[in-house]
């Protein structure tokens, strides 16, 4: 799946949602999140984000890897 990283926080441009063919990008309080099971990995959102917040999860390194779990956790029940 693709994930959204810290660059989205308090920016929330939202243009990524218009690029997603399966509507798997959801708005949260301070950032948007990609549903890891709904994402079809088309990559349309990755290049459209003006702050470069979106990446394929397997290409994310370092501290940004925390956002793999952060995106996933949003869609999991308690």
3-class state of residue 30 by DSSP: coil
Footprint on residues 57-76 left by ligand F3S (CB under 6 A): none
Q: Which of 3, 20, 24, 49 binds ligand F3S (CB under 6 A)?
A: 49
Is residue 4 within 8 Å of 71, Cβ to Cβ?
yes
Task: List the one residue from 40, 42, 51, 66 that touches ligand F3S (CB under 6 A).
Answer: 51
Q: Tell me: does residue 22 bind ligand F3S (CB under 6 A).
A: no
Under the binding rule (CB under 6 A), the answer on residue 35 touching ligand F3S is: no
Report the alpha-carbon distance of residue 65 to residue 29 in Å, rounded.
20
């Amino acid at each position: 799946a693709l994930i959204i990283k810290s660059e989205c926080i308090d920016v929330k441009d939202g243009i990524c949602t218009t690029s997603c063919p399966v509507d798997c990008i959801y708005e949260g309080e301070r950032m948007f999140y990609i549903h890891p099971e709904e994402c079809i990995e088309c990559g349309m959102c990755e290049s459209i984000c003006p702050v470069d917040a979106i990446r394929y999860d397997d290409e994310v390194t370092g501290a940004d890897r925390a956002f793999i779990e952060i995106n996933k956790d949003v869609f999991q029940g308690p």
